[in-house]
Amino acid sequence: MEEEIFQGLKVLDFSWAIAGPWTVKYLADHGATVIHVETVHHPDIIRAGPPFKDDKPGVDSSIYWVNYHCNKYGLSLNMSHPRAREIIKKLVSWADVIVENFSPGVMQRWGVSYEEVREIKPDIIMLSSSQLGQTGPLATMRGTGIQLTAYTGFNRLTGWEDREPSVLYGGFTDCPAARFGATVLIAGLLYRRRTGKGMYIDLSQYEAGLHLLAPVLMDYQVNGRIAMRRGNRHQYAAPHGVYPSRGDDSWCAITVSTDEQWKALCRAMGDPAWSKESRFSTFPNRKDNEDELDRLISEWTVTLTPKEAMFKLQEAGVPAGVVQKGEDLYNDPQLKQFGYFWEVDHPVIGKHRLESHAFNLSKTPRKLRMPAPRLGEHTEYVCCQVLKLTDEEFVDLLADGVFE
């Protein structure tokens, strides 16, 4: 078998919900050995997240959870048990990296703070990813990515000016948090290779999200302008929007940023008489008459399916794309070619196509080695094979309820 990138890298994974598991996913899918720790007393909320196999909730039947935990070993460990310490010490000695995304204070309560793990393993790298960071007056505020997306300013910028803002599906801030998290973690590993030094990384998901809004934050600072949502309106493009197409709730996105693209759009529509009117002849004119422009374009798009509109416009050289639904993504020949979805065969769920990554490496592709673990699936394997407990030690701890 070919070597994988992170082969031999040992990750102790306390992550839950989305941001933490997504961070670890980059390592797990490229060969790291990951031990994921959870307890039957408080299963990860995502294990209760839909969809489920046959729509029946169950701790091992959430497709949502399985998506983020492939290629990992699952260890069940009651961190609050007085004897959990015996296992934690061995796990920390084993690990190169610890990842966690609990509220600040939880790891300390369990005796797994950076100060404590560093005593056991001086060059360990520990990443704590939390909503608002480990310090500051709001550090211990509870919440999820859904509320953090509001706090980070994304909701204010999403939807229609005459209505209340829209939700961004899932927890939008989890996405940059995971990407920045994995980036700094790997950068830290390279630094450790060079210097032998471990480190603690305190990542704020709020601060990660704000990087995706940096220019509008500067706009307020310099120009005093408070950014606002405006549907699909765009400063430099008209027409620019999502247009109704033939079929149930079907839409096609169109962007026209240059006069050439405008001419191409007119050609694709069959050069209707209205398109020659002076009120649409230049970008400023189109911008001034945008509502009317959108209405007239819609009269044309509504006669076509979104796919027909897309192909017709692309052929003419106009940026256009189907507003794809879940079904469309699974059938998209482009995503298929890219290998975006990969099929996982899970003992409870069966076969299901899950998300992999949005990049392909030419020489060391990602690999699906095993499906996500059932809760506690590898407890015995981890204890006896990895941590080298004797059978007697394992059974003793098991009887004591340490592995619940």
The binder of other proteins chosen from 90, 94, 113, 232 (CB under 8 A): 232
| Span of 105-113, 114-122, 230-238, 370-378 interacting with other proteins by CB under 8 A | 230-238
Please state the closest distance from residue 92 (CB atom) to other proteins, in A. 21
- What is residue 62's DSSP assignment? B
Q: Please choose, from the candidates 330, 329, 322, 331, the residue with its C-alpha nearest in 3D space to the C-alpha of residue 250.
A: 322
Tell whether omega for the bond before 51 is within 30 degrees of 0, i.e. cis.
Answer: yes
Binding to other proteins (CB under 8 A): which residues in 47-76? 49-53, 55, 63-64, 67
Please pick, from the candidates 108, 183, 281, 385, the single residue that binds other proteins as defined by CB under 8 A: 183
Distances (CA, A) of 205 to 3, 69, 118, 168, 315: 33, 20, 24, 16, 41
Is residue 174 annotated as a catalytic residue, yes or no? yes
Nearest alpha-carbon partner for 207 in 267, 159, 259, 139? 139
Is residue 267 involved in binding other proteins (CB under 8 A)?
no
Q: Which is nearer to other proteins, 223 or 278 (CB)?
A: 223
202 binds other proteins (CB under 8 A): yes
Binding of other proteins by 10 (CB under 8 A): no
373 forms part of the interface with other proteins (CB under 8 A): no
165 binds other proteins, rule: CB under 8 A: yes
Residue from 12, 91, 126, 203 in contact with other proteins (CB under 8 A): 203
What sign results for the dihedral spanned by CA atoms 80, 81, 86, 87?
A: negative
309 neighbors 319 (Cβ within 8 angstroms): no
Among 70, 79, 91, 210, binds other proteins (CB under 8 A): 210
- Judged by CB under 8 A, the chain residues 79 through 98 that form the site for other proteins are none
Q: Which residues contact 217 (CB under 8 A, 6 or more apart)?
A: 210
Could you tell me if 213 and 207 are in contact, meaning their C-beta atoms sit under 8 angstroms apart? no
Q: Which residue has the tokens 């990969």?
A: 342
Do 35 and 100 contact (CB within 8 A), yes or no? no
Cβ burial 198-221 (10 Å sphere, 16+ → b, else e): bbbbebbbbebbbeebeebeeeee
Site string for other proteins, 330-349 (x = CB under 8 A): x-xxxxxxx-x---------
Among 114, 172, 262, 280, binds other proteins (CB under 8 A): 172
CB 100 within 8 A of CB 128: yes
Q: Which of 89, 170, 374, 400 binds other proteins (CB under 8 A)?
A: 170
Q: Does 228 bind other proteins (CB under 8 A)?
A: yes
Token pair listed for 74: 């699952």
From residue 268 to residue 307, the character string flagging contacts with other proteins as x (rule: CB under 8 A) and all else as - is ----------------------------------------
Q: Residue 134, interface with other proteins (CB under 8 A)?
A: yes
Our finding on whether 396 is near other proteins (CB under 8 A) is: no
Q: Is 182 in the site for other proteins (CB under 8 A)?
A: yes
372 makes contact with other proteins (CB under 8 A): no
Name the amino acid, one letter, at 31: G
Segment lying near other proteins (by CB under 8 A), choices 274-282, 327-335, 381-389, 394-402: 327-335
Q: Measure Cα distances from 330 to 67, 227, 321, 350 in Å.
A: 15, 35, 16, 17
Identified catalytic residue from 29, 60, 174, 294: 174
Nearer to other proteins, 83 or 353 (CB): 353
For helices 259-268 and 306-316, give the axis angle rounded to 10 degrees: 130
181, 23 contact by CB (below 8 A): yes
How many binding residues for other proteins (CB under 8 A)? 153
Task: For residue 18, state whether it binds other proteins (rule: CB under 8 A).
Answer: yes
Active-site residue set? 174
